Amino acid sequence: MSDGADTINTRRKGRITVALAVVTLAAVSVPAVIFAWTSSTEIRFVEQTDRAGLTHTHHTRLFRGKTGDVLHVFTSGGASVAIGDYDNDGFDDVFVTDSDIGRKCRLFHNNGNLTFTDVTAAAGVAGGNDQHSIVADAVWFDYDNDGREDLLVVRFGTPLLYHNEGHGKFKDVTASAGLNKFGNTIAAIAFDYDNDGYLDLLFGNYFQPADLLNLKTPHVLPNNLDNAINGGGVTLWHNTGKGSFVDATQQAGFDKHTGWTTDVGHGDFNNDGLQDVYLACDYGTDRIFFNNGNGTFREATEKAIGFDTKKGMNVDVADYDNDGWLDIYVTNITDEYMKECNMLWHNNGDGTFTDVSKETGTCATLWGWAAKFGDFDNDGWQDLFVVNGLRSAGKENYVSTLVNMIIQPGIDFSDLNNWPPVGNMTWSGFQKKKMFHNMGGQSFQEISSAAGVDNDRDGRGIGMADFDNDGRLDLYQTNVDQPSMFYRNVTERVGNWVQLKLIGTYANRDAIGARVKLTAGGLTQIREVNGGNGYAGQSMSRLHFGLGNASKVEAVEIHCREGQGIVSK
C-alpha cells in the first residue's frame, strides 16, 4: 500500500456531476515487484492464528431450563468478525465478537507485520454480553463522516454504537444516537440508501423481538420450517446526519417482511446508481428490494428470483463473471439429509436473476454460513470461500432425533418445548470448508484441500483483507464455540494487482456504494464498496483487483450516486 495519495482528476459531465464529484482516489497501489502470473497458479493459505496473535475463542450463550440447549443452538450464530482500519494507519484491524454472558469482544490492532495486539481494554469495546443482550454481529462505519471508523455492535437485544474518539479510544454513544429499539438482530450493514451523504443501517433480525433471556412464551421458534412468517424481519435506521438515527423501516417499505432474516446485503443490482437490498432468510423465502431513489424500496422477489423455501444464511455480492452486473451468492443447507443447494444468482441485467449454482459447481457446501468472493490468485476472476458446519459434538446425530419431532402430525414447530433436547449430539458438524477457484467466470473448481483451508470447525463468519498489504487477500474465519482461524495467503506467482481506497467528500466518507470499473489487460471488472456484506463478517473496504499478467491499468471509472460521477485516469 502506497502511503502517498494519488488523486485522480475528475472529468465532470452532465448537470449532476457537480454534486457528484464526491469521491477521490486516495491511494492507488501497484506492487513494487511484478510477478509473472500464470493460469496454473495454485492458491495456498497457511494458518497463522497464534503466530499473528489473533487467538480468540467464541462462546455461545447458555440458557437455563430444559429448553436451554435448543435455544443455545438456535442462537449459535454470533461468532462474527469486522475488519476496519480504525486508526487510519493503512493496515486493517480486526474486531471479533463473543456471545456468552460476561465474555468479551476483542479489538486487535494490526502491527503491520502480520502480528496483532489486543487493544480491547484501552479501546473500551469489550462489552455487550449481559443479562439482557447477546452480541451477534459488528460493523465498522463512519457514521459522522469525521474520517474515523466508528463501531456498531448488534445484539439479540439493543445495539451498541461506539464513536471513534481517535487515539485508540471509543465512546458509547448508543443512547444519544437513538438506537434504542429492541430486536434479535443477527446481521447489519451500513449503506447510504437515500444518498444524503450519511451512512444508514439495515439490521437483519432473526427471531421476532422477544426477550429470549426472559421468555414470556415458548412460541418463539419458526412457525413453519419452509415458509416461516414469524421472524424478526429487518429494521432500517436512517442517519439524520446529526449523530442520531431514526427507524425508517415502514417508510422505506420493509415492514411487510416478517421472515427469519439471517443476512442482509446491498449493491446496485440494476445499474441505476442506487443501492438495492437482498435479504437471506432462514426457513423460507429470500427477498430482494430495488431502491426507488426517493427513500423507498419496492419488493421484486417474485419477478427477480421467485419464492424459495430454503434456509438462506449468507448474502455476498460480486460480479463473478465480469459481465458488468453484480451477482449474488446465498448459502443454504445441502447435507445428506437435506438437498437444498446454494444459490448463485446470475444477474440477467433485466431485473431478474437465474440460479446457476449447479451449473457453476457452487451448489453444495453442506450447512453453509458465510461466503466471500475474492480474487485469491489475482487472475482477474473472483474466487469464493465458504464456511460451514452447525454443531460438532458427540457421535450421536441430532438429525435422526429431530425427524421424529418433525413428522408428528400437527406439531407446533414454534413451541420450544416440542423440540427434543440436543444434549451432546452433533448436528451437521465436522464439515470441511469449501474454496472455489473461479475458472474464467463460467465455472468454479473446489480446491479447499489443496489451498489448505479445509478445516472442519463450525464456521460462521469470514473477514477478508490484505492484512500485510502484499497484494494477496488473507482470511479470518470465526467459529462458534471454537477458536477463530487466521489464514495468510501465501499463493506464489500471483497476478498483478491494484487496490483502491475511496474516500467520500460530499458522499459518505467511507464511499460505501461507490462503484469502480477498472480495465486492464482487456478485462473490465467492477467492484463496489460495501458496508458489511457476508454473514457475520465485514471485509476490507479497500477494493482489490487482480490483474493477471497485465502490468498497466488502462482505465478506471469511479461511479457513485446516480452513476454519473465518472472519474477516469
- Our CB check for another protein shows the closer of 121 and 406 to be 406
Distance CA 131, CA 270 (A): 44
**Least Å from the CB of residue 399 to another protein:** 5
- Our CB check for another protein shows the closer of 23 and 425 to be 425
Distance CA 455, CA 462 (A): 14
The x, y and z cell numbers of residue 29, run together, are 497501489
**Least Å from the CB of residue 398 to another protein:** 10
**Cβ-contact 386, 365 below 8 angstroms:** yes
**Least Å from the CB of residue 113 to another protein:** 45
Q: 276-281, long-range: CB within 8 Å, 24+ apart, which pairs?
A: 277/193, 277/202, 278/315, 278/317, 278/328, 278/330, 279/204, 279/234, 279/312, 279/315, 280/204, 280/312, 280/313, 280/314, 280/315, 280/330, 280/331, 280/535, 281/231, 281/312
**Least Å from the CB of residue 541 to another protein:** 36
**Least Å from the CB of residue 409 to another protein:** 8
- Our CB check for another protein shows the closer of 176 and 224 to be 224
Interacting residues with another protein (CB under 8 A): 225-227, 284, 309-311, 333, 336-340, 397, 399-400, 403, 406-407, 409
**Least Å from the CB of residue 252 to another protein:** 29
Nearest CA among 553, 546, 425, 533 for reference residue 491: 546
**Least Å from the CB of residue 311 to another protein:** 8
- Our CB check for another protein shows the closer of 5 and 403 to be 403
- Our CB check for another protein shows the closer of 310 and 457 to be 310
Distance CA 402, CA 393 (A): 16
Distance CA 258, CA 230 (A): 6
Backbone dihedral angles phi then psi of residue 450, each to the nearest 5 degrees:
-65, -30
**Least Å from the CB of residue 211 to another protein:** 27
Write down the H helix ranges in 293-432: 301-304, 357-360, 398-406
Nearest CA among 389, 263, 282 for reference residue 328: 263
**Cβ-contact 464, 110 below 8 angstroms:** no
- Our CB check for another protein shows the closer of 18 and 406 to be 406
- Our CB check for another protein shows the closer of 298 and 339 to be 339
What SS3 string covers 512-527? Answer: CCCEEEEEECCEEEEE
C-alpha torsion angle, residues 483, 214, 121, 190 (rounded to 10): 80
User: What DSSP element (H or E) covers 51?
Assistant: helix 49-52
The x, y and z cell numbers of residue 54, run together, are 489473533
**Cβ-contact 414, 222 below 8 angstroms:** yes
Handedness of CA 363, 364, 367, 372 (dihedral sign): negative
**Cβ-contact 99, 59 below 8 angstroms:** yes
- Our CB check for another protein shows the closer of 355 and 468 to be 355
Distance CA 3, CA 488 (A): 23
- Our CB check for another protein shows the closer of 95 and 427 to be 427
**Least Å from the CB of residue 140 to another protein:** 36
- Our CB check for another protein shows the closer of 227 and 240 to be 227
- Our CB check for another protein shows the closer of 39 and 354 to be 354
Encoded amino acid at 489, one letter: N
**Least Å from the CB of residue 408 to another protein:** 9
- Our CB check for another protein shows the closer of 2 and 397 to be 397
**Least Å from the CB of residue 310 to another protein:** 7
| Residue in the block written with cell 492458491 | 43
Handedness of CA 234, 133, 188, 312 (dihedral sign): negative
**Least Å from the CB of residue 535 to another protein:** 19
Distance CA 543, CA 534 (A): 16
The x, y and z cell numbers of residue 397, run together, are 446425530
